[in-house]
Amino acid sequence: MGQEKEVPERKARIFNFQKYNMYDGPGIRSNAFFKGCPLRCKWCSNPESQHQGYEIMFKQDNCVNCGACVAVCPVHVHKLHDNKHIVDRDIQCIGCCQCEKACLYSALGYG
């Protein structure tokens, strides 16, 4: 018997999943949008889906500037400046989701 090749495990992160799509062609389908997809299709080329790394979705309208996310973020992506919450986009998020769990107002999410 020959030696079997070891195949590396591949993982993909789903950015969004939409059911009952019927606007981009005939028929009804479900679409899975992958984070870091290199394709630039007309119907799904969302800028936030093109980067492979973790990205924080911040809803300013939901935020009450309590600082709970600031206290738990290990890489200091979240900051309070003049009592206003700021997401420092120059710091790479590690995707630990601690800020999302700490936020009681659903102001944070991941893409």
Instruction: State the Cα–Cα distance between residues 55 and 34, nearest whole angstrom.
Output: 13
How much is the average pLDDT of 69-82? 96
Class of 56-110 in CATH = alpha beta
The per-residue pLDDT for 67 is 95
d(CA 57, CA 86): 12
At 5-63, the pLDDT tens digits run: 887 777 778 877 888 888 767 888 888 888 887 777 776 667 777 778 888 889 999 99
Q: Which residue has the higher pLDDT, 85 or 3?
A: 85
pLDDT of residue 70: 96
3-state secondary structure of 17: strand
91-97 LR contacts (CB < 8 Å, sep 24+): 92/53, 92/54, 93/53, 93/54, 93/55, 93/56, 94/54, 95/54
Domain boundary assignment for the chain: 14-50, 56-110
**pTM check: above 0.85:** no
